[in-house]
């Protein structure tokens, strides 16, 4: 009986199953609960931050946290921020460019990123850490600063829900902009296919590290992008520019796979050298397995 329940529970985390669920809050809860069963340690434990006594009232904050004495003196709404609420300040940075809409199966790269971002936001805020959201394509489209109020989760999920994927991407320039914009030391969580100049993207990721941020990269790719399991003559279309070209897969497959392996190896190697937590994710992987692999990485980093 127990084994059957566990198997059924894991089936709910199947990307094909989650793609049929419309409520992002339910998806986030399913993913996190499937992951944390039997786990109690925070995946972000030990990340040092600054302490702040007050901050302005934000949409989603509970009115019971408003300091009414400060309101009386200043005629402005401020809420008390307690030390345990500021254990982590995390920025979830989600790539919303056209290339992320590609999917050879039931779930596109963008859907996968949205589900993971929702799960991470749910997990962070439930443990009284602060989560914020950034979405981008050629530039930043949404910038929500980190907050720890329970009601803020619904605001984040609503913004994630709106993300549809469009246009071209400029990963590197966007990351440089964010590195300058995010002034307080934070946890930077990137969810992207990183399909931009690899050299420039790495330079931008190192910019985050230069600003003393901790960086986690979830590199999200579709199985077809990794394995190129196509036969015959096919038309390949760029998801951003919409340019198309016909290719004979028999002659292209070997060189393509070599290029992809080099691409991934270079990211993995450089990220390791600069203490950036790199995680390659396939969109046919169970979300609980993806988060577990991430936890193993963090434990190896000693956090």
**Residues 162, 56 within the same domain:** no
Which of 66, 82, 91 lies closest to 128 in space, CA to CA?
Answer: 82
Q: Give me the number of domains the chain comprises.
A: 2
**Residues 45, 102 within the same domain:** yes
Residue 76 pLDDT more than 70? yes
Per-residue pLDDT, averaged over 231-242, amounts to 57
Q: Which of 67, 84, 101 is the last residue of a domain?
A: 84
**Residues 115, 249 within the same domain:** yes
**Residues 216, 265 within the same domain:** yes
What is the DSSP-derived secondary structure letter of residue 43?
T
Using one digit for the tens of pLDDT, what is the confidence trace for 169-217? 899 999 999 999 999 999 999 999 999 999 999 999 999 999 999 999 9
**Residue 282 domain boundaries:** 2-49+87-300
**Residues 18, 67 within the same domain:** no
* % of the chain residues with pLDDT over 90: 49
**Residues 30, 78 within the same domain:** no
**Residues 80, 228 within the same domain:** no
Q: What are phi and psi of 8, to 5 degrees?
A: -65, -40
**Residues 184, 174 within the same domain:** yes
- Whats the size of the chain, residue-wise? 303
The structure's pTM equals 0.76
d(CA 114, CA 124): 15
**How much of the chain is in helix, strand and coil states, percent to nearest 5?**
45, 20, 35
CATH code at 217?
A: 3.40.50.410
């Amino acid at each position: 009986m127990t084994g059957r329940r566990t198997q059924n529970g894991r089936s709910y985390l199947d990307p094909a199953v989650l793609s049929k669920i419309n409520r992002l809050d339910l998806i986030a809860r399913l993913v996190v609960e499937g992951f944390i069963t039997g786990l109690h340690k925070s995946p972000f434990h030990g990340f040092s931050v600054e302490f702040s006594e007050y901050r302005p009232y934000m949409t989603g904050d509970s009115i019971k946290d408003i300091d009414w004495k400060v309101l009386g003196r200043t005629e402005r709404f401020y809420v008390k921020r307690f030390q345990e609420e500021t254990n982590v300040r995390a920025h979830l940075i989600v790539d919303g460019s056209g290339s992320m809409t590609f999917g050879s199966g039931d779930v596109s790269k963008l859907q996968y990123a949205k589900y993971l971002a929702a799960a991470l936001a749910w997990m962070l805020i439930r443990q009284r850490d602060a989560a914020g959201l950034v979405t981008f394509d050629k530039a930043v489209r949404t910038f929500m600063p980190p907050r720890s109020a329970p009601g803020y989760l619904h605001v984040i999920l609503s913004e994630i829900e709106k993300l549809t994927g469009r246009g071209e991407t400029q990963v590197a320039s966007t990351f440089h902009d964010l590195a300058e914009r995010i002034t307080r030391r934070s946890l930077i969580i990137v969810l992207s296919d990183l399909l931009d100049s690899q050299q420039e993207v790495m330079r931008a990721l190192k910019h985050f590290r230069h600003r003393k941020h901790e960086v986690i990269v979830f590199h999200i790719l579709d199985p077809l992008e990794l394995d190129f399991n196509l036969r015959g003559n096919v038309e390949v279309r760029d998801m951003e520019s919409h340019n198309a070209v016909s290719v004979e897969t028999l002659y292209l497959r070997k060189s393509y796979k070599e290029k992809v392996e080099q691409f991934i190896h270079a990211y993995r190697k450089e990220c390791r050298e600069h203490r950036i937590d790199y995680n390659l994710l396939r969109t046919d992987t169970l979300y609980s397995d993806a988060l577990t692999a991430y936890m193993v990485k963090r434990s190896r980093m000693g956090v």
